[in-house]
């Protein structure tokens, strides 16, 4: 994630910091976690960076929830992408036990605890694959994003304050 984040920051360096954070927060694997780290590195004020990263991370979620089944269906018909879709589905579903058991709370915690392989993208993919209703999935993912953002703010900005940066 660190090398991908550095790559994006380097290639987006000509853009406004706010737009850079928004784009970084939309990218899978990096998402909000990387966006908030980038926000601290770019010296963006904490509240502005927090809001921009949350909004950027939320943008892809409705599209994943509403359209990923159709996109995967088409991709499975085309040889080169069929294996990729199978791999993505298997990986997402391998993390779905607790989400299936606890639905809202499981999905919220999955999205909200910033560990590798978790986040809004994967949470939305799992919710879609498990056919969790939108009225449960969207609030759970949004709450998870908010939880992850608070954790990452403490880690990214709190750490800087503690060591006096």
pLDDT of 32 reads 92
In the chain, what are the domain boundaries?
Answer: 2-58+149-162, 60-148
Taking 70 as the threshold, does the pLDDT of residue 4 lie above it? no
pLDDT of 142 reads 97
CA distances from 22 to 33, 79, 149 (A): 12, 33, 14
pLDDT of 143-160, one tens digit each?
Answer: 999 999 999 988 887 765
> What is the model's pTM?
0.84
pLDDT class for 6, splitting at 50, 70, 90? low
Contact 134, 65 (CB under 8 A): yes
pLDDT of 54-100, one tens digit each?
Answer: 999 999 999 999 999 999 999 999 888 998 899 888 888 887 888 88
Taking 60 as the threshold, does the pLDDT of residue 162 lie above it? no
Taking 80 as the threshold, does the pLDDT of residue 164 lie above it? no
Task: To the nearest 10°, report the CA torsion of 25, 121, 119, 97.
Answer: 180
pLDDT of 43 reads 87
Q: Counting runs of H as helices and runs of E as strands, what totals does the chain give? A: 11, 0
pLDDT of 30 reads 87
């Amino acid at each position: 994630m660190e090398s991908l984040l550095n790559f994006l920051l380097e290639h987006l360096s000509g853009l406004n910091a706010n737009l850079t954070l928004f784009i970084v927060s939309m990218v899978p694997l990096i998402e909000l976690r990387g966006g908030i780290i980038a926000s601290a590195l770019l010296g963006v004020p904490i509240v502005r960076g927090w809001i921009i990263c949350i909004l950027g991370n939320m943008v892809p979620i409705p599209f994943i929830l509403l359209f990923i089944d159709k996109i995967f269906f088409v991709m499975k018909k085309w040889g080169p992408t069929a294996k990729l879709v199978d791999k993505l589905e298997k990986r997402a579903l391998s993390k779905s036990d607790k989400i299936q058991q606890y639905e809202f709370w499981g999905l919220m915690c999955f999205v909200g605890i910033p560990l590798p392989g978790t986040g809004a993208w994967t949470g939305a993919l799992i919710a879609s694959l498990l056919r969790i209703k939108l009225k449960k999935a969207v609030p759970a993912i949004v709450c998870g994003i908010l939880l992850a953002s608070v954790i990452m703010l403490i880690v990214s900005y709190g750490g800087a304050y503690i060591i006096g940066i």
